[in-house]
Amino acid sequence: MGQTHRYVQRMAIVLALIVIAPVTRASDVVHKWKDLRFAPISEMSGIARSRGFDDVYWIHNDSGDSARLFAVNGDGVVIFPSFLRRNYYGTDTEEGKQPWPGLAVEVAANVDWEDIAVDEEMIYIAEMGNNGNARRDLGVYVIPEPNPRAVGRTRALKFVPVRYPEQNSFPAEQWHYDVEGMFVFQGKLYFLTKHRQPGKMSSWEAGTRLYRLDSMKTDEFNLVTRIDSHEKVSVVTGADLSPDGEHLAILCYTQLWVFERPVSGDAWLSTPSRMISLRLEQTKQAEAVTWQDDTTIIIGNEESELFRINLEDMPD
């Protein structure tokens, strides 16, 4: 979601979700971690910790930005190749230089990037934002993960078109085909939907659906498979699997959920879970989530603030 309607949408979120969010609040376990304060990271919409490079977090902006990624380390320092430092600066301003514009992703466009996920080899970018539920060009960019300390630009290996088997009209009758949460499990991509009232961009419906991507064709639509649903996980803005694969974190505007790994299968939304309520005045418009390690969750908002939550502090 872009900046144009941010204020209206945020107020609608408060009004719509105050009924959904439980009375008990545990957001005192949410602690401010970092302020990135780097102008080109202007509207953080996704974050993922690299598995291939030490102390690297990949970040992207929301819709309308150029196709680019930013890498930062655990201290919030912007990472880019040393051979480009003659012209650019990172975290600290340097006279006569421009801020690092990010790692350009060629053969790609940011219509509405909403989440990012990684495995041992690839970066996946969810071009799945669908506010009006009318898009027919949804899909995922697949990028071989570059070394951010050695590479200044890269290209998408492929774009995987995605379509929902239940959606037959554009816009759909039910506005349940917007995705802002994506994660990787056992070599496959999974998506979590965000639901609106039909025809109303800023009026939300409770619940989410979990879909799995079973094919990666590039020349035709890949129909996703519906796996599970949950009626209380609402207005999902991000998702990520813990490094050990044992817990799934799902970020919502006013909630953070963590689900345990299924004993068998992949019905993640049907397993035991824990949840804390988030205070909008603290976490604001939080749309990015990843894991620092197996027990520490990082969430980020569009103001480039990062917060940290210890899994053990979340009530069962």
| Pairwise CA distance, residues 131 & 57, whole Å | 27
**Where does the pLDDT of residue 30 fall: very low under 50, low under 70, confident under 90, or very high at 90 and above?**
very high
Residue 162 near residue 221, CB atoms below 8 Å: yes
The confidence score (pLDDT) of residue 20 equals: 45
Percent of the chain past pLDDT 70, that is, above it, reads 91
The confidence score (pLDDT) of residue 8 equals: 42
Residue 241 near residue 248, CB atoms below 8 Å: yes
Higher pLDDT, 137 or 1: 137
pLDDT exceeds 50 at position 289: yes
The confidence score (pLDDT) of residue 1 equals: 55
**Where does the pLDDT of residue 2 fall: very low under 50, low under 70, confident under 90, or very high at 90 and above?**
low
5-9, 64-68, 76-80, 121-125: range with lowest mean pLDDT: 5-9
- Stated as kind and residue range, the H or E segment containing 257 is strand 255-260
The confidence score (pLDDT) of residue 9 equals: 52
- Stated as kind and residue range, the H or E segment containing 12 is helix 6-17
Cα three-residue angle 15-17-20, rounded to 5 degrees = 135
pLDDT exceeds 80 at position 67: yes
Exposed (0-12), middle (13-18) or buried (19+): which is 75, by Cβ within 10 Å? exposed
Average pLDDT over all residues of the chain: 93
Query: 242-259 pLDDT, tens per residue?
Result: 999 999 999 999 999 999
The confidence score (pLDDT) of residue 163 equals: 98
The confidence score (pLDDT) of residue 205 equals: 96
Partnered with residue 229 across adjacent β-strands are: 209
What the chain holds in terms of domains, given with CATH numbers, is 6-313 (2.120.10)
Amino acid at 32: K
Mean pLDDT of 167-182: 97
Q: What separation in angstroms does the CA of 246 have from each of 64, 72, 258, 291?
A: 34, 25, 10, 12
**Where does the pLDDT of residue 7 fall: very low under 50, low under 70, confident under 90, or very high at 90 and above?**
very low
0.85 exceeded by pTM:
yes
Query: 84-96 pLDDT, tens per residue?
Result: 999 999 999 999 9
| Pairwise CA distance, residues 210 & 223, whole Å | 13
Q: Which two tokens stand for residue 38?
A: 């780097």
Mean pLDDT of 91-120: 97
Q: Is the torsion defined by CA of 165, 112, 13, 41 positive or negative?
A: positive
**Where does the pLDDT of residue 22 fall: very low under 50, low under 70, confident under 90, or very high at 90 and above?**
very low
Strand, coil or helix: 145: coil
Do the strands 153-155 and 103-106 form a parallel or antiparallel pair, or are they unpaired? parallel
- Stated as kind and residue range, the H or E segment containing 221 is none
Residue at token pair 């816009």: 171
Residue at token pair 């959606």: 167
Query: 256-268 pLDDT, tens per residue?
Result: 999 999 999 999 9
The confidence score (pLDDT) of residue 18 equals: 40
Mean pLDDT of 90-116: 97
Mean pLDDT of 97-111: 98
pLDDT exceeds 70 at position 21: no
Q: Which two tokens stand for residue 27?
A: 């957001």
Q: What separation in angstroms does the CA of 265 have from each of 212, 230, 257?
A: 12, 16, 20
Mean pLDDT of 6-28: 48
Q: What separation in angstroms does the CA of 160 have from each of 68, 110, 195, 244?
A: 18, 14, 23, 27
Dihedral angle at the C-alpha atoms of 287, 63, 36, 279, nearest 10 degrees? -30
